[in-house]
Structure formats: structure tokens, C-alpha cells
Amino acid sequence: MATWWQSGAIYQVYPRSFQDSDGDGIGDLKGIEARLDHLVALGVDALWISPIFPSPMADFGYDVADYCDVDPRFGTLGDFDELLAAAHARGLKVLLDFVPNHSSSAHPWFRESRASRDNPKRDWYIWRDPAPDGGPPNNWISDFGGSAWEWDAVTGQYYYHAFLKEQPDLNWRNPALRAAMMDVLRFWFDRGVDGFRIDVLWHMVKHAQFPDNPPNPAYRPEMGGMHAVLQLHSTDQPEVHAIAAEMRRIADGYDGDRVLIGEIYLPVERLMHYYGREAPEVHLPFNFQLIEATWDARHLAALIDEYERALPPGGWPNWVLGNHDRPRIASRVGERQARVAAMLLLTLRGTPTIYYGDEIGLADVAIPRDRVQDPRELREPGLGLGRDPVRTPMPWNDSEHAGFTSGEPWLPLGPDWSTRNVAAQGGDEASMLALYRRLLHLRRKHAALAVGDFRLIEAEGDVLAFERRHGDERIVVALNLGAEPQPFALPEGDVLASTRGGTPKSGVLRGDEGVVFLARPA
């Protein structure tokens, strides 16, 4: 029997931008609780909340100063407990974002570590002597550009930070640090959390000897500084798998099918290792291929087939169209194809994750220079790497500030918020929101879509078609990835959903049309 995280769908909430309850322009936990009924009506099974822990917000919560509390901007531990109870009462699971690779430089652990070389917590972080020339220990580059090493004049060593200097990396080779972080998982599991998305899991262990990373022969400046070298020695080290396996043992020790989802940007063959080879690791290593894919039928068919074939025995697939770090699907492929993409996401075999706002077709929002918040954009301006455009407030209705806040939103709303909002689309059966609701309803109604087998039927021209089957139930999904009509012979049966509404023409997919079809038994 399938678990909830296999048959269900996950919805990512970026808490700063979902709903503000106190007028400070920043979303919070009470705001999320107030909007839970939207998630119920949408038809998702779980919400994953991006970091809510105390933080100086140098990287908007991914610089954690206390792993076992809630930042006052978002509320209190009591507010979280109330949100958790309200979600569970509605049949919704709640996942938190675990940030184990690095803490904030304001974390008490780092302050102790930085105090002296002989401090008991010195080895909880990664410290190295300078190179012979006095410079950084090696050529490793921060993902936000520049050297990944920061000089500390007080103790005469460099500390390592894969991201901002305000985000020093934890040393997972230290047993005491490792035990302390495992206790963080237990703290939240004990409160009733249903699982975690584990941030940058593949970064967590570094090569013990810290050799230089090799140069990237394909590097171009517009790619951003982090791509100047290949992260051969600073990520994806063999020792990380034992850590992931220990996290899995902790999760499996709780009832209720707790789930671990790993953020891992790696090629498919290396991604598969995080399911676990020696022992079970994360339940779902995030599969980001659709985020990065060329929107072409043959290319998509090939990557879907490669992914399915690569899965280890018992490994459950998953798919993602967007998240808080990458351009929104509506901006990547256009609004009409974003509907086709939604149908693809919600009918492929595996667990789908929906990024907040995609269900109403939100696009990237241009951020004026004086409103930029993202440290990545501030450090490497002009390269288009900033993440603010995909983190803008959720438009709920056409009232002032789109019903998101009674104050000034922390980021600007999109220009079409007065018409592109949840209330406007909620009563429109032709809307993007109606399409998402329909598709999620079909996943719950038809086992073939939720847990059925997958078989590719066609990838010719602009048409991508596949079959989902469970027992005697057979569903065909046909997607036209182009704007022009394409021939496709649908089997005898009933149309369950179309991205364009109405009844498809016999033997033809209209431009930008996707169809879910229930085939009659042979």
C-alpha cells in the first residue's frame, strides 16, 4: 500500500510571502494557518514551509541562529504548534526545512567556535590555516561568488562558508556536532512534524584534505562565479551517505510515515545514490530535471525515461517544476504552456511538489534596483541570478496589497495582481487554479495517476504522450508542447481534463493543449 508521500502532492510555502497577519509586510505562521483552507480546496496533501527559525536574515532564514525555535518575525513556538494542529485537523501534513550544512554566524555555537582555537566548539565548524602565501587554504568558491573562505584575525585562521560569510559551514566530521544536529530532528519530530526537506544535502561533507577544485572548462562569466570551478571536492563526498542514513533511521523510528526529502542538484546517476545503497537514506532525493529542461517533447521524453530507468529497486520518483531559487514555470515557458507543464507535473509517476503561486500562473516579477533584497543579486548584480522575482507575495484578492498584508509588502506584487489572484480564479472554471484543482482531484480519484505504472507512448514533433495504468484502469496523457495543432489519435474513452477546456477534436491536439483521457477497457 502506498504511503501518503507517495500518492500525495506537496505544496511549498515561502513563509515571508504567503500571508501576513500582523501588518508588518512579512508573512507569518498565523497567516499560513489562515490560508490552510486554500490548500485543502486545492487538493494537496502536505505543506513544506521554508525556514522559520530565528535568523539575522542574511539569507532570509537559511542562516539559522537557533534550530529549535521560531523567529519572532514569523511568530512563536506556540503559533507553530497551533498551525500544526490546524493542518493535521484538515488532513494536511507539515514539513519543515532543515538547514544542516551551515548555521548563522550569529549562532551561539559559532560564537564559541570563533572565540579561540582551543574552545570546545572550535571543531564544530571548518577552520584551516592560510595557504603558504597567506591567502585562502584552497580555491573553493562560494555559491554566491567570491572565495568560500573568510579570514578571522582574532584566531588567525580561515573558516569555510559555501554560501555567505554569515553562513559558516558546520563540520559534520565532528561527532558532537553530528549528535547535536540529530537532536534537532528529534525536537521537531517530537512536536509532531511530518518530515523535512533537507537543504543542500550534497554539500554537507567536504574532502578531508581540502584539495583545490579543478577548473571548469565550460565556464563563462555570465554563469556566475560559483561555476568557475567544478565542485569535485567540496560537495557529494562519500561520507555524507552515512549521515543521511542516520537521519533516515531517526525518521523511521517515528510513526505516521515521516518523510525526508533531500535537496540535491546532481546528475541523475549520482542523485540515485541518495536513496541509499548500503542503507536507506532520504525517501525522496529532489528531482529538479523539469526545472532545468529544454521544453521539447523528445528531450522531455528522454529525461523521463532516463530517470525512470535509473531508479533503484523500491525508489519512488518525484518531480518539481519550480521552487524559491529558480525562475517560475510561467516565465520559462509562457502562460499557455505553463498549463501543459502543470498537467505533466501532476500526471507523471511520482510525488509532485508545487511552488506557491504556480497554481494561479504567477510569473517572475521585475524588482526595481532599490527594492532588491536577495544577497545573491546584491553580490553578483546584472547576471540574472537574483531570487527575489520568484519570492513575491501571494495575491489573494483585488483588495489593497492583494489581501497579503495591511502594510507595505516586503517585495512588490506582480503587475497583474488585481486580476491574477486566488479569488478571481476561484470562480472561473477556465482558470489555472481550476486546472490545478481538477488535476489534483483526478490524482485522488484515479489510482492509475497516483501510484500507477508509467509507459511512454509517443514523443514526435511537439507531442509527448504516456500511459498510466493500475489494474484494469488505463489513463492516457497527451501533451502538445507547441502552439500549432498536432495529430494524435486518442483511444476510445472519456476526457477527464484538458488544459484548454471543452472537448478535443478527434485525432487532433489543439495548440498548447494537454489532455488526460480515461481509456475504455479493451
How many helices (H) and strands (E) in the chain?
16, 18
Q: Are strands 149-152 and 157-160 parallel, antiparallel or unpaired?
A: antiparallel
Nearest to 61 by CA among 50, 46, 72, 69: 50
C-alpha of 367 from chain center: 22
Q: Is 98 left (phi over 0), alpha (psi -120 to 50) or beta?
A: beta
CA 475/CA 518 separation, integer angstroms: 5
Which residues are bridge partners to 95 per DSSP? 48, 195
Cell for 170?
Answer: 558546520
Place of cell 521560531: 70
Nearest to 456 by CA among 328, 355, 308, 333: 308
Query: CA 296, 302, 303: angle at the middle one, nearest 5?
Result: 90
Task: Name the 3-class secondary structure at 143.
Answer: coil
Distances (CA, A) of 190 to 181, 251, 418: 14, 11, 42
CA 422/CA 7 separation, integer angstroms: 25
Given CA atoms 131, 174, 104, 145 in this order, what sign does their dihedral have? Answer: positive
Does the annotation count 494 as an active-site position?
no
Catalytic: which of 20, 28, 194, 263? 263
C-alpha of 428 from chain center: 28
Distances (CA, A) of 3 to 258, 295, 381: 10, 31, 44
CA 47/CA 363 separation, integer angstroms: 21
What residues have CB less than 8 Å from 143, skipping those under 6 apart?
162, 163, 226
The HSE-up count of residue 283 (CA atoms within 13 Å, CB side) is 21
Catalytic: which of 97, 199, 380, 388? 199
Contact of 487 with 508, CB cutoff 8 Å: yes
Cell for 367?
Answer: 524588482
For 427, other C-beta atoms within 10 Å of its C-beta total 9
DSSP state for residue 191 in the 8-state scheme: H
Per-residue H/E/C for 343-406: HHHHHCCCEEEEECCHHHCCCCCCCCHHHCCCHHHHHCCCCCCCCHHHCCCCCCCCCHHHHCCC
Does the annotation count 263 as an active-site position?
yes
What residues have CB less than 8 Å from 79, skipping those under 6 apart?
28, 29, 30, 33, 70
- Which residues carry out catalysis? 199, 263
